[in-house]
Amino acid sequence: MTSLLTNAKAADISPPVPTAHKHRRMSLWHLFLFPTALLFAIPLVQMFLASLSPQAELLRFPPPFIPSHLTFTGYARLFASSDVLLWLGNTVLVSSVAIISNIVLCSLAGYGFARLKFRGRNFGFLAIVATIMIPTQVLMIPTYLLFSRIGLVNTLGAAIVPWLATSFGIFLMRQFFLSIPAELEEAAVIDGCTRLQVFLRVVLPLAKPALATLAIFTLLGAWNDLIWPLIAINDPGAFTLQLGIANFQGARRTDWALLMAGNVVATLPLIVFFTIAQKQFVATMTLSGLKG
Amino acid sequence: MAETLTDERRAPQTGRAARRRRLLRDNVEGWGFVAPATILILGLAIFPAAWAFLLSLQKWNGFSPTQKFVGVDNYAKLLSDSELLDAVGHSLLYVVLFVPSSVLLGLFLAVALNRRLRFIGLYRTAIFVPFVVSAATTGVLTNYLFDPQFGIVNNVLRSIGVPQQGWLTDPAQAMIVIAIMSLWGSVAFTTVIYLAALQDISAELIEAATIDGANRWQTFWNIVWPELTPVTVFVTLWQFIEALQLFDLVYTTTRGGPLGATETVVYYLWDAAFHKLQFGYGSAVAYALFALTLLITIGIVIYSRRTKNEAF
């Protein structure tokens, strides 16, 4: 893992430039790639189609492959009968706080562990790396007990607090800061800047690619998180989107148009982000591999 | 360290005081940078992990004032708990269904996507997008696609003459469906890791093999595949750990059913802790699983160091 993380090249996976001029003939790989890509696309296409289908057609037997016409009644029922906009707002709030907090705290800590000399530095960093090994299932019960004692149960705080800072984020930022030459900072120190000024003015502007990776990692984690809200939030007023859609599928078993409309609301923002910033997303996936 | 000591001894009294002040300033400054994040992470990981271990030695429902210390009783109980052993079996079934296919499909997709083709961007997007879809959405989507009556999967099968399948309602098929959808959402990860590794293999190496008369198939098996060994070990271990912790997708599809066929270890533990309120016993299950994954991880790391395959 370390070798992957430290290798800056690893994050860039654009296809190799062909060495010689080759004819762009029909490659046999299309015979494999086209059906595979289609198969991967079908679930999401089905999700969008079903969310726009008349509910009666989804429960006809046998169901049609393509709806006769598109309609927004699924969305109308979703917005009328659930607090989905509130949940969306909650999720946006949780994710934004998590992203801002991670960018601030993890870059500060990453810089401290990479550049500053102080007592306990190595031990502190080692302890943080060790926490990456601790699986969620070990933490579920005590975290629930902890949250109930400090009054976080049934509040959005239960969804936010576990995401305020991540050990992966610190690890990532430290690796990045180690990779940039220290001479730049030394010059600024000689010019009389304090450490914080050096960090804010010299180092942080260079760190944009790493911060983008950290932001995407946090966004995916906080937006899609199910387990922490699940154990600590029972109050529908503090539901996140994930908790909301996981819960109301029990109550609305076969109202597929409505359920898929909820799925679209929960997924579309991430799909849009992904298509805009595919390169950064893929780099983040390569570096992290953490999901859920 | 040794150098600073001799330096200090040599320095005059005033120099030593100044030095101490500077050291103090360095420490305050350093901790000023790292303390907020460090306290949060250790407070939400090391401290609860220690607490969970203490809980695993107790019998407690989480609310009553009496926490009975029972020593290793909870751990002894694990071995005779037939429902837990069933759950271990289900988790292992999922590991067998998911891990090899995610590694092999990831490798195959990476090899296929690692070239300049028309539409390659579209292919990549189609295969990578599911990665951003949450487990909750994937779960609801799975229920829809694999619905025995109205789902598209049975609909397609029906149109080619295959009889209707039970899928998530059939104890023999439910875990297969979960593994398929899990693969759909996560194979992008193994694919991008292999893609990155493929591009690290030097072109000269492959050229040399081609000049020596190796065909593409021989080049792959004799040159590329051995070069990929460290990555293969890494992703296999990673996916194995992930697979052992399967919970989200079970929660949003079958809730452990039908007839307990998809009750995995972590689902069982969640149920024991948050429905049956067995906080002590649940913690023991969590620690046993943690210890098992840790042992396997250490074993693989030592093995790969011995065989010098450079995975770790």
Q: What is the pLDDT of residue A17?
A: 54
d(CA B196, CA B211): 25
- Cα distance from A253 to chain B (closest Cα, Å)? 9
Nearest CA in chain A to B186: A291
Nearest CA in chain A to B237: A1
Same domain, A68 and A99: no
> Is A15 within a domain?
no
Candidate from A128, A245, A249 with C-beta closest to B38? A128
- Yes or no: say if A178 and A12 are a contact pair by the CB < 8 Å rule: no
Q: Which string of b and e fits B199-230 if b means at least 16 CB within 10 Å?
A: beeeeeebeebeeeebeeeebeeebbeeebeb
The domains of chain B are located at 81-277
Q: What is the pLDDT of residue B143?
A: 93
Cβ burial, residue B72 (10 Å; 0-12/13-18/19+): exposed
- Yes or no: say if A201 and A114 are a contact pair by the CB < 8 Å rule: no
Tens-place pLDDT, residues A216-255? 999 999 999 999 999 999 988 899 999 999 988 776 677 8
B66 alpha-carbon distance from chain centroid:
36
- pLDDT exceeding 90 applies to what percent of chain A? 58
Q: CA B242, B246, B248, B250 torsion: positive or negative?
A: positive
- Yes or no: say if A249 and B119 are a contact pair by the CB < 8 Å rule: no
> Is A5 within a domain?
no
> Which of A49, A73, A97 represents a domain boundary (last residue)?
A73
- Yes or no: say if A125 and A106 are a contact pair by the CB < 8 Å rule: no
Q: What parts of chain A have a pLDDT lower than 70?
A: 1-26, 251-252, 289-292
Going by pLDDT thresholds of 50, 70 and 90, the confidence category of residue B309 is low
Count the Cβ atoms, other than its own, within 10 Å of residue A162.
25
Q: What is the pLDDT of residue B13?
A: 59
> Which of A55, A73, A91 represents a domain boundary (last residue)?
A73
Residue A238 DSSP label: G
Identify which of B223, B222, B216, B217 has the alpha carbon closest to the alpha carbon of residue B202.
B223
Sequence-distant (6+) residues with CB within 8 A of B289 are A135, A137, B244, B245, B265, B266, B269
> Which of A53, A73, A93 represents a domain boundary (last residue)?
A73
Mutate to test the interface with A, among B34, B180, B278 (most CBs of A within 10 A): B34
Q: What is the CATH number of the domain that holds A121?
A: 1.10.3720.10
Domain encompassing residue A65: 39-73
d(CA A97, CA A93): 6
- Yes or no: say if B273 and A141 are a contact pair by the CB < 8 Å rule: yes
Tens-place pLDDT, residues B287-306? 999 999 999 989 988 888 88
Candidate from B36, B52, B117 with C-beta closest to A27? B117
Sequence-distant (6+) residues with CB within 8 A of A215 are A99, A102, A103
d(CA B189, CA B83): 33
> Is A4 within a domain?
no
Same domain, A252 and A189: yes
Residues of A whose CB is below 8 A from B122? 37
Same domain, A130 and A101: yes
Enumerate residues 174 to 213 of chain B having a beta carbon within 8 A of any beta carbon in chain A.
Answer: 181, 184-186, 188-189, 192-193, 195-197, 199-200, 203
Beta bridge partners of B68: B59
Question: How many domains does chain A contain in total?
Answer: 2
Residues of A whose CB is below 8 A from B139? 246, 249
Q: Is any Cβ of chain A less than 8 angstroms from the Cβ of B248?
A: yes
d(CA A128, CA A140): 19
Same domain, A114 and A224: yes
CATH number for the domain running over B81-277: 1.10.3720.10
> Tokens 């809980």 belong to which residue?
B55
> Is A231 within a domain?
yes
Q: CA A21, A26, A29, A33 torsion: positive or negative?
A: positive
* DSSP-based three-state secondary structure for B16: helix
- Cα distance from B12 to chain A (closest Cα, Å)? 23
Nearest CA in chain B to A116: B30
Which ranges in B130-247 belong to alpha helices (H)? 135-145, 152-159, 174-198, 203-211, 216-219, 225-227, 229-244
Same domain, A52 and A129: no
